[in-house]
Amino acid sequence: MYGQNNQKRKRFYKKSIWPSIGMFVFFTISCVGLVLTFMVSFQGYLVDSKIADIQEDAVSLGRLMNLHMKNKTIFEAASFVEVYLSDDKDLCITDEHNQVLRHFGQTVPDFEQTEHILVFAPLRVLTPYELMPDLDWKKKHKDSVSKLTFQEILKRSMEALLDSSFEDSKWLETPLYQEYYWVEIPINKQGYHMYYRDALVIAQKNVFYMNIAVFAELILLGVPTVLLFFNVCSSISMQRHMVNLLYQDPVTGGKNWNYFLEQSKKILCQFRNTKYTYAIVNLHMIRYQDYCACNGSREGEALLKKIDGFLQISMDSGETFARFGKADFGLLLRSTSKEQCEKRLKKMLVELTGIKKDKMMSFSAGIYLLHPAANRKGQRRRQINIDQVYHFACAARGTMRGKDGEYLKVFDQQILQEQLWKNKVEETMEAALLNGEFKLYLQPKFDPVTEKIVGAEALVRWISPEDGMIPPNRFIPVFEENGFITKLDDYMILAVAKLQSEWKLKGQKQVPVSVNISRVNFVKEDLAEHICHLVDSYGADHAGIELELTESAVFGNKERLMQILKELKMCGFSISMDDFGAGYSSLNSLKDLPIDVLKLDMDFFRGEDEQQRGEIVVKETIRLAQALHLKIVAEGIEKKEQVEFLAEQGCDMIQGFYFAKPMPVEEFNERIKRDC
């Protein structure tokens, strides 16, 4: 379950932040690409258009030359055409080997040295480096090139835009880049080539317009980019806030259990931590519910906050903790040995007892150790289920219940076996109930005088195909803890009702059979109606079924318990109290509860003083029960002397190994037939 939740959280984080970041990065790269593409395209277009103009002039000159060469020589035609050219443009005529035959103008070409020849195609494309005006270029015609810097051009451009006036715009026509080329003129004269010299000029207005376009593009693209940037920042802030909420404990304000699971896994998987012994600790405050009942829930929460603050101060680097639930905290502690860990925890428990100055607190802790020897290179720690390991620590602490003076317990192999058995029971109990693996056994109750069967107690035995006969003390405590005991109680009531119905149909002797009702059942509002429905489903007589409750069931809502017992008696059921004398309020129970049968606890008949003080207590208890018109059942009787003593005192029924052990229903039927 934790793994699934962790994957869901990771997917949530990705969905919440990565789309925004991805969109921002994609849009930013796209914007930069668009700007660079525009600049390169604009430069290429500008150079290509200038060269195209030069070549167009060359074509026009070629047409003019071809027209004049019909009546004149090539040299005469060139002299005539040269008149129409400006002063900065020169002409030359070469032979087929590009040897200059004649030139017109001031510049004599040297075609062996120069590379600036255009033959109806661009020789090269100017680079951005060549177009940047604030770089110190080496130009052939420095006198004709403006010395305005790029900052000055931009400044004038902005001033012109703000003033909405371009009156003083002659500076825009100033050449920013100028290079001369010899361009071939297409003529129809074999053995001759003709060239004219022209300038490729990049004016400042060209760069100005490009800058304006780039500036506008940056504004158009920059606004959504800035908005996306703020959206990403907002998403990151929101995600951090949500992560804090996901990892915050609502009671203490500290970290919650999800944080502990993820952080513990992260710490344990780090290679540098493999040399340490780590302890997963279940820290529990004893009687927290009693504290809240006396001081209120707000005081209880305030106490938990103090504990959280104390633990926060106590944690070292590479350790973590969080509240698990109610007054339980999970700790991940680092140490070099088991002894050091136990010593540190004992000190923490002592300090926690004084966390409230006006009251002594009690704490206990269960420990699960992760030794470095079992985690070579940290490989196995990656497979550790932190949640399960923590519950192992809880199981270790649970073994100390009822043991005074014990507040610290380390999880060991025996506890592991018990935990594995508990898990196995919980995994198979539902199927076992459906498959009928729980069998009804009966232990007879005998009249101490006639020694004949006068009743029986219904007991359950689990006969597993895999484990064979499983004694009740191996599974009943597990059922009581997880609540499955209510289903088992219903199963046993149905089994006894079915047995009583079969006895009735066969005309066999019927004896009352007692069935134990767990204290968990007494929280049901309709318990009496529910039991009646179960018994009536087989048509059994209510009088033949005796319902047993232990004295521990009295510790709860006593008024509700009395109401339920009265309803059961009105339905015709007998009520018995099991293990009388094992608790501390037996006399109050006799006074208040509407019971019919009293079962004496077997401990009265054990111990060194059983022939003296034990007999006095049993004798007076029987006399008291007789005065209250209650029947007495003595259980756990194993000796003949005990039977004789009880018969002499007027005990109604005896149950124990002296007469018979619990037996299957078939054997009980044979036994009761012999008594008849």
Q: Which residue carries 């990705």 as its tokens?
A: 14
The DSSP secondary structure of 410-479, one letter per residue, reads: E--HHHHHHHHHHHHHHHHHHHHHHTT-EEEEEEEEE-TTT--EEEEEEEEEEEETTTEEE-GGGTHHHH
CA angle, residues 372, 386, 431, in degrees to nearest 5: 125
Cβ atoms 390, 282 nearer than 8 A: yes
Q: What is the C-alpha to C-alpha distance for residues 478 and 487, in angstroms, rounded to an integer?
A: 13
Q: Is 281 helix (H, G, I), strand (E, B) or coil?
A: strand
Q: What is the C-alpha to C-alpha distance for residues 314 and 334, in angstroms, rounded to an integer?
A: 12
Q: What is the C-alpha to C-alpha distance for residues 138 and 115, in angstroms, rounded to an integer?
A: 17
Q: What is the C-alpha to C-alpha distance for residues 107 and 104, in angstroms, rounded to an integer?
A: 8
Taking Cα atoms as reference points, which of 429, 445, 395, 430 lies closest to residue 415? 395
Q: Which residue carries 């208890």 as its tokens?
A: 621
Q: Which residues pair with 179 in a beta bridge?
A: 200
**Which amino acid type is present at position 147?**
K
The DSSP secondary structure of 212-275, one letter per residue, reads: HHHHHHHHHHHHHHHHHHHHHHHHHHHHHHHHHHHTB-TTTSSB-HHHHHHHHHHHHH-GGGTT
635 tagged catalytic: yes
Q: What is the C-alpha to C-alpha distance for residues 588 and 410, in angstroms, rounded to an integer?
A: 40
Q: What is the C-alpha to C-alpha distance for residues 169 and 171, in angstroms, rounded to an integer?
A: 5
Q: Is 550 helix (H, G, I), strand (E, B) or coil?
A: strand
Residue 445 Cα distances to 582, 630, 658, angstroms: 21, 16, 11
Q: Which of 635, 638, 648, 666 is catalytic?
A: 635
Q: What is the C-alpha to C-alpha distance for residues 27 and 234, in angstroms, rounded to an integer?
A: 17
Order across the sheet with 363-370: list the strands.
320-325, 328-335, 277-285, 363-370, 408-410
The per-residue b/e assignment along 529-561, b for 16 or more CB within 10 angstroms, e otherwise, is: eebbebbeebebebebbbbbbbbebbeeeeeeb
Crossing angle between the packed helical segments 338-353 and 297-314, to the nearest 10 degrees: 140
Q: What is the C-alpha to C-alpha distance for residues 458 and 517, in angstroms, rounded to an integer?
A: 11
In angstroms, the first-to-last Cα distance of the chain is 60
Q: How many CB atoms lie within 10 A of CB 229?
A: 15
Cβ atoms 381, 358 nearer than 8 A: no
CA angle, residues 75, 78, 80, in degrees to nearest 5: 115
The DSSP secondary structure of 55-122, one letter per residue, reads: HHHHHHHHHHHHHHTTTS-HHHHHHHHHTTS-TT--EEEEETT--EEEEESSPPP-TTT---EESSS-
Q: What is the C-alpha to C-alpha distance for residues 334 and 328, in angstroms, rounded to an integer?
A: 19
Any idea which residues carry the catalytic annotation? 635
